[in-house]
Amino acid sequence: MESRIERLCVENGLKMTGPRRAIARILSEVDGHPDVDELHRLAHTLDPRISLATVYRTVRLFEQHGILERRSLGSRRARYEMSGEHDHFHLIDQESGKVIEFDEPETETLMRRVAARHGFDLISLKIELFGRKLRSESPPDRSDDARQTVEPAGEPR
């Protein structure tokens, strides 16, 4: 069955080679925000002929066609996620590297008003919050859509 990324590639007129198809499937199935090295490791298990250079070229191509978005998430390495998903935000724990994806409709509404006040139509919204977990009892997660992944912690800011 064709993944969403494979479908977007075809819609964008990209030729779906074996390596591109493998990388597209991995990106569609992987949890979190993989970097190129992680994608290469996963792709290599599917097809040992897929080189790191092929992964870099494929990711760049997918990004240029608006299929993937590059994220830093507090890391020196670029990380990737599928484009076109609803706007969401990232809360990154600087100590553990845990990334919590969450929706906050009030923030999106506020940012749209700010953009409009300055004469802009908001096209996309990217917010990354960096912090450290409080040592006391933390408040419960109020977001029904919060998704957590653990990724290597980045350099402290």
Calpha distance 92→10 (Å, rounded): 34
108 is in an annotated binding site: yes
Residues 6+ apart with CB under 8 A from 69: 63, 80, 81, 82, 83, 126
Residue 58's H or E segment, with its range, is helix 52-64
Residues 6+ apart with CB under 8 A from 118: none
As annotated, the binding site includes: 108
As annotated, the binding site for Fe cation includes: 108
